[in-house]
Structure 1
């Protein structure tokens, strides 16, 4: 007796299901497991866990913070780059700020709320990418004792951006300013925003500080370059987060400006720290991809092993 086409089709489907289940559910996973168990690949397959005296202290693939309980940088350690993953290097909240180069105007916070004791973030304040870069550069400069200024940043560490209000030409550029506001410098008596704008006037018009609640979007947004060096001392990776927020590396330039602080905290010479930086530098992938980098965790581990800090 001939089997009906309907039954033959379903039998073929069942056979295909069984074959694919064996291949993709058993053979392939076992093959991957076997390859991952080969010498030289096993540690990577297990997450590149770094251990000291049998205790896991982190992963060579995931960065981490080297700060105290209050979030202050520990002077005896090299610091990682900024992270937007959760509260910093949180593998369960990996991600970036998603802010682009046109993010130059801050979202102001409510001064009345800030005076009650809430944080700027809780008051609605949100820094633009430009202000984040400026404030981080200023903080790194203060920590490392180097020049933290950079173009388009105010001395107070926010984006040097004006809203210029007035009549415009056919291209939309303001030609006769009537009012100029420093949009990232909010008029307030609180401690986190200054009252006096970074410049006193623009094209003959006095510059005002920004008042909370006013809308300055009708003005033309004009970033002011200022006198910051074209090649800032604080490198880009010290003031920007990676796309994942988990980058374990910093640039040799960022490591270099930290050398003096680390040497002082550990009671050794700067040359000794620089030699360690050089020894821990990774080259470009395949010799030409990316930039040289230094794994902060591995560098700090070697620091502890060779030059224990004078104080903790």
Structure 2
């Protein structure tokens, strides 16, 4: 068999494989995703009652008001850096993740001094005092950050611990809030993997909808 014929066969094979792997396969996967899993394929986006996208079910957002169920602390502030002053380059790099500080490292407890925090203090101690002042029994996920630092969920226990505070701030019965928590609790994957979690964004949107309806 001649070299020319072998080279021609190799070129044709490469071209066919390129067509299959670089064009046909990706477009088939896109079509399957859009037809079978459109919600997941488009980022698991969550919309409000007006149909406006307010976030993703996969990415956490900060909530600290007494009128809302508070989210889990984040070492990256959920990438909400000011585009005009992003010294840490969070928005440019998409940084996420834990601090990687050991439990013995005192910096783990340090709180960054900010405009509304004139006296430096300990973050964990500060959060514990804040929760205590609000009458919220502290749970691990209301005090410590997650591995990704972008966790959109808290435990059902952490959500229920905030019922009294939210009920008082919104003048809503605790029973209604407990029902909302149950309705917005995601169970274990396939019934056996992971632990139940409450998506904070979905829960707070349902909370706003409940107040509007009432």
Instruction: Give TM-score scaled by structure 2 length.
Output: 0.79
Q: Distance in 2 between matches of 1:302 and 1:83?
A: 23
Which of 57, 60, 72 aligns to 1:60? It is 57
Question: Which residue of structure 2 aligns with residue 82 of structure 1?
Answer: 73
Question: Which residue of structure 1 aligns with residue 101 of structure 2?
Answer: 99
Question: Which residue of structure 1 aligns with residue 146 of structure 2?
Answer: 242
Aligned length: 195
Distance 1:309 1:266, change over 3 A: farther
TM-superposed CA distance for 1:14, in Å, is: 2.0
TM-superposed CA distance for 1:100, in Å, is: 3.0
Question: Which residue of structure 2 aligns with residue 19 of structure 1?
Answer: 16
Q: Distance in 1 between matches of 2:16 and 2:146?
A: 43
Which of 182, 187, 195 aligns to 1:278? It is 182
- SS of corresponding position for 1:88: helix
Q: Distance in 1 between matches of 2:25 and 2:33?
A: 12
Distance 1:135 1:119, change over 3 A: closer
Question: Which residue of structure 1 aligns with residue 164 of structure 2?
Answer: 260
Does residue 50 (structure 1) correspond to residue 46 (structure 2)? The answer is yes
Q: Are the equivalent residues in 2 in contact too, given 1:65–1:89 (CA < 8 A)?
A: no
Q: Distance in 1 between matches of 2:20 and 2:105?
A: 53
Could you say which structure has the higher helix fraction?
Answer: 2
TM-superposed CA distance for 1:33, in Å, is: 1.0
Gaps of 5+ in 1: 67-72, 110-117, 121-125, 147-232
Q: Distance in 1 between matches of 2:18 and 2:33?
A: 21
Quote the RMSD (CA, aligned, Å).
2.9
Q: Distance in 2 between matches of 1:308 and 1:75?
A: 17
Q: Are the equivalent residues in 2 in contact too, given 1:76–1:309 (CA < 8 A)?
A: no
- SS of corresponding position for 1:307: helix
TM-superposed CA distance for 1:18, in Å, is: 0.7
Q: Are the equivalent residues in 1 in contact too, given 2:153–2:197 (CA < 8 A)?
A: yes
Distance 1:136 1:18, change over 3 A: same
Question: Which residue of structure 1 aligns with residue 85 of structure 2?
Answer: none
Q: Distance in 1 between matches of 2:213 and 2:123?
A: 31
Which of 120, 128, 131 aligns to 1:140? It is 131
Question: Which residue of structure 2 aligns with residue 123 of structure 1?
Answer: none
Q: Are the equivalent residues in 2 in contact too, given 1:265–1:309 (CA < 8 A)?
A: no
Which of 170, 180, 193 aligns to 1:289? It is 193
TM-superposed CA distance for 1:308, in Å, is: 4.1
TM-superposed CA distance for 1:32, in Å, is: 0.5
Distance 1:245 1:60, change over 3 A: same
- SS of corresponding position for 1:299: helix
TM-superposed CA distance for 1:9, in Å, is: 5.0
- SS of corresponding position for 1:37: helix
